[in-house]
Structure 1
């Protein structure tokens, strides 16, 4: 990452718990899990936009 921005994110408790469980099973921090999932979705959206 060239530049990082700090944000405050409010999540429903059940979503937070699910993400924390997913992060633990992937051996990532909660922050890294959220970033990973956002990047995967961004890449998929870009690929969809580029396909004919």
Structure 2
């Protein structure tokens, strides 16, 4: 499953490495993963398919 998200360090969209579905504190769906280039945490808000 390829999930794209914007990396704040690289300043461009990247495909997440090891995406994990989760929820925020207020119950909204979110997908967290790592940037394959710099290794920082990137997130995508919304339900994944």
TM-score range, shorter chain: under 0.3
TM-score (norm 1): 0.19
Q: Which has the larger radius of gyration?
A: 1
Higher relative contact order (CA 8 A, sep 6+): 2
Higher helix proportion (structure 1 or 2): 1
Higher strand proportion (structure 1 or 2): 2
TM-score (norm 2): 0.19
